[in-house]
Structure 1
């Protein structure tokens, strides 16, 4: 995008009156127009691969729990606790990583966090079996792996224009979505009792991605590198550096976010668009997680599926996440690109469709299990549940990267925390509710939570622009 300085100043003044400083900056400052399409694609591929590590580390471990229980001589409850502590840390740790990534640089956080991940896996693969060490290293593993979902979304936001961001976010989300699908398959390397190999495998792929980040991932935080002119005509190989230098002077075009603090988080949590999007994502993921944790039980008890069929069956909801993400991202960008003026809330029209699809999937899944109808119907409705959920998440995540706070990674981390809270609550109560009222009514209640999500979407469509404008004026 090019224009005269007078035109830029005139447009800037007009836009500041309407939408506030941060959003104004995004409109008259081209979002990394000096980074080539090829290099942009490389960056997205790198952060997508890094985003794969956390989910695959969580899911490769679950199938070998009986072996872990035997080797470490621990109870089922203790073995399950090693999963719970991993998930809890994955929910909380990104809140710290993301805020520092928005303030001091993306690449520094990748380098530090993934080093934790690699070292913890090397130690898990090599030290003697000790339950205390297992818990400590699983915590460190989660601290290292959990950063990339939120920080990676911030990187994608740095290098893509809003009208192309939905598709870019959908590709980035393939990493986290492939983890739950491929993790159980990769766990087969421990089928002969070699449980240490799962951690050896994680350390190997983690190290490959780490080296790629060191030498091929440039810093992208806008307050450090501006529009990326510093990369123009340069080689794609970059010099490894722990602390990223500021390559431009601080300016109104590329303001530095506030230093991370509890006060900053409290202010963000009071920002209504972020809060409503995060709660909506938490409720939606709670419904999907309820379906996920009962999926194997229904197929085993109602349809007598053997273990190998159960593993293969998870390809159905897994495929729904991938397909829903890619299709949702493309359609969102196509609709947004037709509008002359980009308004972030314009993405929410499609979220209503996604929530309705999800609700149909969850309701159908519950009543199919209740009446024990043909297994094909269970697969169809589970597919719809996952498809609708990821359709919404692509739009939600994209919106959170551009909703005026200037801290996209932190926004996504807060939403990720809400999703993990929703999953944790769902995992505790779903089985108890099913015992009392059955699958049909349980999933009817969960499916109807999507109506709350639709109400949130309608509220954001009406009041979101004003709330963003008010937030920008108080910064």
Structure 2
């Protein structure tokens, strides 16, 4: 009893010290970036990371069973690949619908609304009679619901995490999307006996659990509305859901975001840092997605892999994304702190220099992957070079998202939604034409061409590093 009392007194003392330190910072004109306790922030970030997992999981639980679905629905491989493309097109454009509203009116309400559509789509796929047209429509609805969380989640990270730790935090958030290619193929084994509806049942169960956690554990975090979160001080971590959060702070430090509308996107698309960064990540993602889509058919046709072996092989791609993401986030934050302490100081473009490694890794991985498939080398080499390509892609993505979040003060979700749109349009096109390119050019020259797109990326990277600071300065005037 005495130890419990002393522990309680210690907690009260620590709370008083923290409260006094915040009071002193306020008197000095300073304020902590986020007043939400660290453990609660960690819980919020964990929940939104799980939410960010739903969209990529929906895509990657599906890709390994494309040959099975083609037989079940009695359609060609190209027609069935169209269901991948329609999902990616939805994943490209629907975040534009969500993002500017999230930067203006709040995050929480859009989490609640959008994920309802995701759950509904999975229910309907399970119960609607087998029909290829219905599958196209419901895959589009599925992407509408799941696509919001990636852009909303980055916005939540920016709300809660100060810049010196942001790269690592964005990398951790991206573990959700990166886990899709790891766990998705494993869960797709539920369809190995021919029951193609099981993967969608799994998506419904996981999505339902994530939805409940967002409802009761994730508060509104948009800084323009709730500031640094001091309003949540001393309150229960379990909250009652509500669809509207009124503005409760009046502080000029929390920049008013632009009103949602087409004009916002038009202005940002013309803004070179957003446009060029989005183009580089789009080209990179298209190349990797082309590899990912062709991966299953190559292993099945050239190496006689079973459905189970194909699904497990996707662990290689997923593992590369996780490792690349974690390494990139930690490296770019360390680089940030080093530049911040230098005489010249830090500017957001300093992070971009580190992307060079990712582009080179992707270039080498894609070209070597294509030629190893062409000559039917040992499957271990296919794994090695696809792994190298994945490392390069996710390395660039973490830095790209961090840079975009810092480029537009007060509205991080909107530029990320634009980048997401270009990425997924490029991926949709790549998934639709990759088989044709492989047939016309052969695997070697096809992936050599894709790999050399990274030369364009490196040129655009140099442009951003040289002129990015000037472009940002002109934009804010």
Determine if the TM-score, normalized by the shorter chain, exceeds 0.5: yes
1:112-170 per-position Cα deviation (integer Å, ceiling 9, x unaligned): 00111112222332344455544433322221111111111111111111110111111
| Counterpart residue number, 2:33 | 31
The 2-side partners of 1:40 and 1:54 are apart by 23
1:285 aligns with 2:285: yes
1:451 aligns with 2:455: yes
State how 1:72-471 maps to structure 2 within 5 Å. Answer: 79-129=80-130, 133-249=134-250, 251-338=251-338, 339-340=340-341, 341-471=345-475
Q: TM-score if structure 1 supplies the norm length? A: 0.88
| Counterpart residue number, 1:14 | none
1:386 match: secondary structure? helix
The 2-side partners of 1:380 and 1:62 are apart by 20
Shift of 1:67: 6.1
2:245 match: secondary structure? coil
| Counterpart residue number, 1:59 | 60
Q: TM-score if structure 2 supplies the norm length? A: 0.88
Shift of 1:442: 2.3
The 2-side partners of 1:70 and 1:452 are apart by 39
Cα RMSD, aligned residues only: 2.4
Judged with a 3 Å threshold, the aligned counterparts in structure 2 of structure 1 residues 63 and 391 are, in CA distance, closer, same or farther, namely: closer
Counterpart contact for 1:404–1:471, Cα < 8 Å: no
The 2-side partners of 1:357 and 1:135 are apart by 35
Counterpart contact for 2:103–2:222, Cα < 8 Å: yes
Judged with a 3 Å threshold, the aligned counterparts in structure 2 of structure 1 residues 301 and 191 are, in CA distance, closer, same or farther, namely: closer
Shift of 1:295: 2.4
1:172-214 per-position Cα deviation (integer Å, ceiling 9, x unaligned): 1111111122223212334445444333322221111111111
Shift of 1:248: 1.1
Judged with a 3 Å threshold, the aligned counterparts in structure 2 of structure 1 residues 131 and 376 are, in CA distance, closer, same or farther, namely: closer
Judged with a 3 Å threshold, the aligned counterparts in structure 2 of structure 1 residues 427 and 205 are, in CA distance, closer, same or farther, namely: closer
Shifted more, 372-381 versus 261-270: the winner is 372-381
Count of residue pairs the alignment pairs up = 452
List alignment gaps of at least 5 residues for structure 2. Answer: 1-20
Shift of 1:299: 3.1
Shift of 1:79: 4.3
The 2-side partners of 1:374 and 1:133 are apart by 40
1:203-253 per-position Cα deviation (integer Å, ceiling 9, x unaligned): 22111111111110011101001111112222211221111221212x421
1:219 match: secondary structure? coil
Counterpart contact for 1:118–1:203, Cα < 8 Å: yes
Shift of 1:78: 5.1
